[in-house]
Structure 1
């Protein structure tokens, strides 16, 4: 098996790492020998004390923070649980969304769609879930698509994908929630974690990392 290329951290210090995960790479190992290559395994080959704090879906690219050691893992996990971490994503979605100065809100509870797991669904009995969105631009061509900014105020599984689907604007390239036509319009899921901000648990410095998306849209 060919060795994976080395990781080039966005940020590295004795306490934590910030990495830019490529689309198509798992954050943690999955079931089966073909799913052992992942971000955490690659990171631990370079930084043996690296530990997962949060995850991105396999198809999502972008910024991921990893702790160095269990104490830092607890501190960073608490920051995520207490919503003290700023997260912003970019996506390209189907259809024309209105261009406004203000952010709009999707407030819809989510729960597992048990007969179709790992899919999630909106359900009044689900966990409270909220996403802010703002349209950036309308790419040229037909069918219409919109480049949007997304800020999840909660951290539910597949939250951004299901929330956008619920308002009629699924993310292009989504193999889980989109039909064949939607998948054919992009070579991958067009969802990218572009900003990550938090207070460093040790130095108390305010950190903010940005990696803009580099999406390719198939007309």
Structure 2
């Protein structure tokens, strides 16, 4: 079992939304191969409501960090609208192989599916694909290991966008078995973490901003790049 106590992963709670720190290695929804999913643990987060909360957006199985849950149908619809309209601000931390020579920039590369098979989630850069934009900033470097710590802000929300964009730039995310050089077994795990999530959910209030602590499988690499804490 990947999740022993889902309540310990609760980062934020109000009448409409919960934000949890999703662990790496746990898919949000059931897949064709079965196995443990986040959905199986959500009944513990009802807090008196008749139905369990539901995820308002997606994180890959191997991505950790901030995941928003709508507590009921109306809340979920409002959250879905925020994400669909690009109003939810997300920042990810990533450890990449190599890294850019500059300190900040943008990746503007359209993305499309590699295959016409609707079951395939693998993506590729394709000028005829959907417009996709990622902003990035260097947070630290580890010259000895040849790695860089990046803050990635996806302006669009395409499938595998950050992973494909980083790989296309020549600095794939460490531990990526699909778009990088990581082995299928025994690798370090995908070094991608949804660090912050800002949700402008209430018109007359500041955006709800939530931060997820650095996950255990990334801390050593982040510290080598200069992370002091958290």
- Length-normalised TM-score, structure 2: 0.83
Q: 2:227 is matched with which residue?
A: none
Superimposed CA distance per residue, residues 51-105 of structure 1 (whole angstroms, 9 cap, x where no aligned partner) = 12101000100000000111111111001111111100000001142252xx301
Give the deviation of 1:3 after TM superposition.
Answer: 8.2
- Check whether the contact 2:2–2:26 (CA below 8 A) recurs between aligned residues: no
Please list, as runs of the form range in 1=range in 2, the aligned pairs for 1:73-152 lying within 5 A after superposition. 73-100=76-103, 103-114=104-115, 117-142=120-145, 144-152=146-154
- Check whether the contact 1:7–1:43 (CA below 8 A) recurs between aligned residues: no
Structure 1: 5+ residue stretches without partners = none
Aligned partners of 1:120, 1:12: CA distance in 2, in Å?
Answer: 34
Aligned partners of 2:84, 2:70: CA distance in 1, in Å?
Answer: 15
Among 141, 156, 164, the residue aligned to 1:154: 156
Among 166, 169, 172, the residue aligned to 1:167: 169
Give the deviation of 1:40 after TM superposition.
Answer: 2.6
Aligned partners of 2:101, 2:2: CA distance in 1, in Å?
Answer: 46
Q: CA RMSD in A?
A: 2.6
CA 1:97–1:181: 2 relative to 1, 3 Å: farther
- Check whether the contact 2:2–2:23 (CA below 8 A) recurs between aligned residues: no
Q: Secondary structure at the match of 2:129?
A: coil
Superimposed CA distance per residue, residues 162-197 of structure 1 (whole angstroms, 9 cap, x where no aligned partner) = 00000100000011112246986x521000000100
Aligned partners of 1:188, 1:30: CA distance in 2, in Å?
Answer: 20
Please list, as runs of the form range in 1=range in 2, the aligned pairs for 1:40-55 lying within 5 A after superposition. 40-47=39-46, 48-55=51-58
Give the deviation of 1:29 after TM superposition.
Answer: 1.5
- Check whether the contact 2:45–2:52 (CA below 8 A) recurs between aligned residues: no
Aligned partners of 2:100, 2:183: CA distance in 1, in Å?
Answer: 19
- Length-normalised TM-score, structure 1: 0.87
Q: Which runs of 4+ in 1 moved over 6 A?
A: 181-184
Superimposed CA distance per residue, residues 28-64 of structure 1 (whole angstroms, 9 cap, x where no aligned partner) = 1112332xx2223212343233012101000100000
Q: 1:64 is matched with which residue?
A: 67
Give the deviation of 1:211 after TM superposition.
Answer: 2.0
